[in-house]
Amino acid sequence: MQNIFINSGKETEVLFDADFVLTDDNLFRIYGPMLPKGTVVMKSGEDNKNLRTVDFIVSQMLAKGVKRSGKVVAFGGGVVGDTLGFAASVYMRGVKWSFVPTSLLAMADSSIGGKTGVNVGFVKNAVGSFSMPDTYIETKYLRTLPSREYQSGMGEIVKTSLLNQDMYDFMQGEFDETEAIKRCVKIKSEIVNKDFMDSGARKALNMGHTVGHAIEMLTGLSHGQSVLIGLRLEMLMMRDYIEHDFFYEAQQYLSSYIKHRVSLRAEDVMRIASSDKKNGDGISVMYASRIGEVKEAVITQDEFLRLFKGAL
């Protein structure tokens, strides 16, 4: 069970009680004076979520004398959280860590559930671990969030709404970000508590990610926007297995949140999708057949190419 605090005001105490704090250079320019002296800074951006940065973080932990009983904190978005979380999970075989998320995506999704990891080449989160942090969500940090990153967070919120009828209905009304975050936290936590190791029910959270991860790696679009486009394309691929009225409603709903158009070669998407860590005997595609009902299709590379070309 994960400890999650929303607008509790406890994050300052957590940061200043830590033996090690990591943030990125963008956030340090904004919040540096408010962070503990000696806060370690990594380069921002998905390109820096890699093993070189893990080596840098671990070296800094050793230099600062962080013990196995120490406390380390990630202050930032998903890249900072994923990278620090993985480093913490392997440092001296595991050190306790906390996450103070500063992006909408991290608050609503990536700070929940204990998945950590870094990228290797074109493979997202190829190296990672399950390591549960204590999470301290403070929505005040959204005030400095760039529009691109806010839209990215909306992508995961929209995805989550396809898992729950009440959340979906909520999204049809006036948007309240704090309430949306609370609902996403509740929905994801309930799923994670049933399937922490991602072998059953938790796989539903992977909707949009098989194609979405490929889009993210090929185009440089934000994670959330890539997932939204991935969701739409994956539903087009699986349309014969989706409730008719829901399919058309979902296509319109997803399209209303997509802010970018992309040009893709099916062969490039298939190549990256084939290396996805979720795959077993074929390429795994998770899709909603209706609100709250998610199914998995495991398809061959040839079938993926055929269906994807049909969806473009």
Q: Provide the residue ranges of all domains of the chain, joining segments of one domain with +.
A: 4-144, 147-311
Angle between helices 78-90 and 51-63 (to 10 degrees): 60
pLDDT, tens only, 277-304: 777 789 999 999 999 999 999 999 999 9
According to the model, what pLDDT value does residue 279 have?
72
Q: What is the pTM of this model?
A: 0.95
72 vs 246: CA distance, rounded Å: 45
Cα 263 to Cα 88: distance, rounded to the nearest angstrom? 38
Domain 4-144 coded CATH 3.40.50.1970: yes
Q: If pLDDT is split at 50, 70 and 90, which confidence band does 1 have?
A: confident
- pLDDT at 36 exceeding the cut of 80: yes
Write down the pLDDT at residue 205.
97
- Report phi then psi at 112, rounded to 5: -110, 130
Same topology, domains 4-144 and 147-311? Answer is: no
pLDDT in tens, 85-100: 999 999 999 999 999 9
Residue 224 has pLDDT above 80, yes or no: yes
What CATH number should be reported for the domain whose range is 147-311?
1.20.1090.10
**The token pair that represents 122 in the structure block:** 């074109």
For residue range 145-165, list pLDDT tens digits in order. Answer: 999 999 999 999 999 999 999
Hey, how many other C-beta atoms are within 10 angstroms of the C-beta on 195? 15
Q: What is the pLDDT of residue 277?
A: 73
CA distance 194 to 190: 7
What is the predicted pLDDT for the residue at 268?
A: 96
Cα 151 to Cα 104, 144, 294, distances in angstroms = 9, 14, 24
CA-CA distance, 72 to 68, in Å (whole number)? 10
**Angstrom distance (rounded) from CA 145 to CA 197:** 31
